[in-house]
Amino acid sequence: MIDQGKVKQAVRLLLEGIGEDSGREGLKDTPERIARMYEEIYGGMEESAEEHLKKTFHVDNNEMVVEKNITFYSICEHHLLPFYGKAHIAYIPDGKVVGLSKLARTVEMFARRLQLQEQLTAQIADALMESLNPKGVCVMLEAEHMCMTMRGIKKPGSQTVTVVKRGGFSNNPELINLFFQMIK
């Protein structure tokens, strides 16, 4: 639950900390704006993956399902700066599939929290394993971290790629290659 009062107070202090006048015209509504924005960008803390993934459909076809290029925006927990990119998900159903939008909803829900990219990748894969009991899941995230581009080491264009394999993907290079081919 976002504590709006605490966020507003903290933003005022932050503005003063960087030497700004938190009461000046351009900044006077900023604490309020940021508190509202946090409801949105950290809104995933209030949601659960089970809710999004509870409605499933029966299928006889257990071939791999791939949803690729799911755009996401998250916030790095070390610097509170955005990292953003694309998520690609593959799973092999075991008689049960989920609505396609729910894959994107799952990504978005975990992304709208303070995150590490590795953790975000694993959380998406584990949520799908738990809710769908599929034969396997593979999740790949490709992202640019603003803490690596606009500050610090300053390497614009650098991309962090993370992969998590579960179930049948863990020990099957052929399946993994097929997934990589499909998301190219």
Ligand X SMILES: Nc1nc2c(ncn2[C@@H]2O[C@H](COP(=O)(O)OP(=O)(O)OP(=O)(O)O)[C@@H](O)[C@H]2O)c(=O)[nH]1
117, interface contact from ligand X, Zn ion, none, CB < 5-8 Å by kind: ligand X
Q: Tokens 């599929």 sit at which residue? A: 134
CA 162 to chain CA centroid, Å, is 12
Of 62 and 160, the one with the shorter C-beta distance to ligand X is 160
- Contacts with Zn ion, 72-111, as mask; x by CB under 5 A: ----x-xx--------------------------------
Nearest residue to ligand X, scored by beta-carbon proximity: 152
List the single partner that 33 binds among ligand X, Zn ion, none, CB under 5 to 8 Å by kind.
none
**Residue 148 contact partner, candidates Zn ion, ligand X, none, CB within 5 to 8 A by sort of partner:** ligand X
- Nearest distance, CB of residue 145 and Zn ion, angstroms: 6
Residue among 4, 11, 45, 7 at smallest CA distance from 28: 11
Q: CA Rg, the chain, in Å?
A: 19
Among 30, 106, 117, 123, contact with ligand X (rule: CB under 6 A): 117
CA 148 from centroid of its chain's CA atoms: 18
Q: State the binding string over 128-147 for Zn ion (x if CB under 5 A, else -).
A: -------------------x
Binding of ligand X by 155 (CB under 6 A): no
**Would you give the distance in Å from CA 32 to the centre of its chain?**
25
Catalytic residue among 67, 115, 117, 138: 117
C-alpha–C-alpha distance, residues 120 and 183, integer Å:
19
Q: Which stretch binds ligand X (CB under 6 A): 96-104, 106-114, 148-156, 166-174?
A: 148-156
Residues annotated as catalytic are: 76-79, 117, 145, 147
State the residues that interact with ligand X by CB under 6 A: 76, 78, 116-118, 145, 147-148, 152-153
